[in-house]
């Protein structure tokens, strides 16, 4: 069984670590990197740190508008797929690289396996929502992280090839948390006291691409009483510069981090504030409460469990949300499996 795994953006490199290891036990794998993320700190560091084999193909597509980026990937991926002739094309998550991989494969009649299938925000203005709906409808195998995700697929008529395997990011956290605690110097290297700071990440287009919204997000973070550390995504940095916004002096702005430092920073925080899907779950897995600066989340189970709260970006709302979440939280149910998603996926695909 020969797998072709399509990667392109930071969260996909993280998920590829356990997946690639499992696929290579049960078959052969080639990796294609679209080049969607290209800075060393957004890409190479994850391959090195997490021991992922270097990509067999690097398309070097880079940044662009939604259509230009996705279209360029589609054309190049088709050539790679024609050369590789894989038995299965594996795509992860909901980025433009995910959709391009699924569409290129489907048009060549190659079967597609989608990991993190069935998530919905029900907000079609998000590029990720378009990507995940389309990808789910192009896939032969849908690996869902939760029963709710399976139900959401069923609601759209997708019932064949659906497997609830849990969340592959839990695999990564379980495999790397001990290592992060030993090898990372975070949060001490930033002089941040354990449980005495907030970790914030902001990068979604809905928060960064509108000047008023981004300004409100920064003001809200800047108004918190606790120290706030924010590893700044290049998209957010470029929008702050373009809009001529000032970063509140209270914010500790740092460059994007590798996986181990990021996990250690989340692990040590009092509270996490984010608009990232991955960070919402990582916070849950290490038992740190989360405030999500969005109107909706795909990971609704974390909200229902009392560990995640949606919040509008106003200083009062954010301060009150952080205060609420700093109070003792309920017992954590296991929402997204047991950390064996990669192995389950590889076994199911190898038997196909």
Tally of CB atoms within 10 A around 327:
7
Pick from 5, 20, 76, 95 the residue near ligand UD1 by CB under 6 A. 95
Q: Does 274 bind ligand UD1 (CB under 6 A)?
A: no
- How many degrees, rounded to 5, is the angle at CA 313 between CA 312 and CA 318? 85
Binding-residue pattern over the window 117 to 156 for ligand UD1, x denoting contact by CB under 6 A: ----------xx----------------------------
Sole window of 184-192, 232-240, 265-273, 319-327 interacting with ligand UD1 (rule: CB under 6 A)? 232-240
Among residues 95 and 146, whose Cβ is nearest to ligand UD1? 95
Which whole-number Å values give the CA distances from 265 to 22, 198, 199, 204, 287, in the listed order? 28, 9, 7, 20, 13
CA angle 274, 302, 295 (to 5 degrees): 50
Q: Which of 203, 252, 270, 294 binds ligand UD1 (CB under 6 A)?
A: 203
Tell me: does residue 36 bind ligand UD1 (CB under 6 A): yes
Smallest gap from residue 193 Cβ to ligand UD1 (A): 28
H-assigned helices in the chain: 10-26, 44-50, 66-84, 96-107, 127-138, 147-155, 168-183, 205-208, 211-222, 234-243, 259-268, 277-285, 300-304, 315-325, 341-350
Please identify which residue in 15, 33, 37, 120 interacts with ligand UD1, judged by CB under 6 A: 37
Output phi, psi for 30, to 5 deg.
-115, 145
Please report how close the Cβ of residue 333 comes to ligand UD1 at its closest, in angstroms. 26
Nearest to ligand UD1 of 4, 9 (CB atom): 9
Q: For ligand UD1, give the closer residue by CB, 48 or 63.
A: 63
Q: Which is nearer to ligand UD1, 142 or 276 (CB)?
A: 276
Report the DSSP beta bridge partners of residue 309. Answer: 291
Instruction: Print the binding letters for residues 233-252 with ligand UD1: x by CB under 6 A, - otherwise.
Output: -xx--x--------------
Task: Name which of 41 and 222 has its Cβ closer to ligand UD1.
Answer: 41
For residues 282 and 266, the answer to whether their CB atoms sit within 8 Å is: yes
- Choice between 62 and 334, CB closer to ligand UD1: 62
CA pair distance 8, 29, nearest whole angstrom: 16
Question: Which residues make Cβ contacts (< 8 Å) with residue 246, sequence separation at least 6?
Answer: none
What whole-number distance in Å separates Cα of residue 31 and Cα of residue 237?
30
Which tokens go with 23? 């696929």
Residues 4-33 that bind ligand UD1 (CB under 6 A): 9-11
Contact flag: residue 38 with ligand UD1 (CB under 6 A): yes
| Residue with the two structure tokens 């959709």 | 99
Among the listed residues 20, 34, 96, 302, the single contact to ligand UD1 using CB under 6 A: 96
The residues annotated as belonging to the active site are 203
* Residue ranges in contact with ligand UD1 by CB under 6 A: 9-11, 36-39, 42, 63, 94-96, 127-128, 203, 234-235, 238, 276
């Amino acid at each position: 069984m020969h797998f072709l795994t399509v990667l392109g953006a930071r969260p996909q490199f993280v998920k590829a670590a356990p997946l690639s290891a499992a696929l290579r036990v049960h078959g052969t794998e080639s990796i294609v990197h679209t080049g969607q993320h290209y800075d060393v700190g957004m890409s190479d560091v994850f391959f090195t740190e997490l021991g992922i084999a270097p990509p067999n193909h690097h398309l070097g597509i880079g940044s662009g508008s939604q259509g230009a980026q996705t279209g360029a990937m589609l054309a190049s991926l088709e050539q790679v797929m024609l050369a590789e002739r894989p038995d299965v094309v594996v795509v992860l998550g909901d980025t433009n690289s995910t959709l391009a991989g699924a569409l290129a494969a489907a048009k060549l009649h190659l079967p597609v396996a989608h990991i993190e299938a069935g998530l919905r925000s029900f907000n079609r203005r998000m590029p990720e929502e378009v990507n995940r709906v389309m990808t789910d409808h192009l896939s032969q195998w849908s690996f869902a992280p939760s029963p709710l995700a399976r139900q959401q697929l069923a609601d759209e008529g997708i019932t064949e090839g659906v497997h609830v395997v849990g969340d592959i990011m839990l695999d990564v956290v379980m495999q790397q948390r001990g290592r992060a605690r030993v090898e990372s110097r975070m949060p001490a290297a930033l002089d941040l006291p354990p449980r005495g700071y907030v970790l914030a990440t902001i990068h979604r287009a809905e928060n960064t691409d509108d000047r008023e919204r981004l300004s409100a997000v920064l003001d809200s973070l800047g108004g918190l009483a606790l120290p706030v550390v924010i590893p700044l995504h290049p998209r957010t940095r470029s929008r702050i510069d373009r809009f001529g916004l000032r970063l509140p002096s209270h914010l500790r702005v740092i460059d994007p981090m590798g996986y181990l430092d990021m996990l250690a920073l989340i692990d040590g925080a009092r509270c996490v504030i984010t608009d990232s899907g991955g960070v919402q779950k990582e916070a849950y897995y290490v038992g740190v409460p989360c405030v999500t600066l969005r109107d909706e989340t795909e990971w609704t189970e974390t909200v229902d469990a009392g560990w995640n709260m949606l919040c509008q970006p106003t200083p009062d709302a954010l301060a009150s949300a952080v205060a609420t979440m700093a109070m003792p939280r309920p017992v954590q149910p296991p929402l997204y499996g047991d950390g064996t998603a990669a192995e389950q996926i590889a076994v199911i695909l190898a038997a196909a």
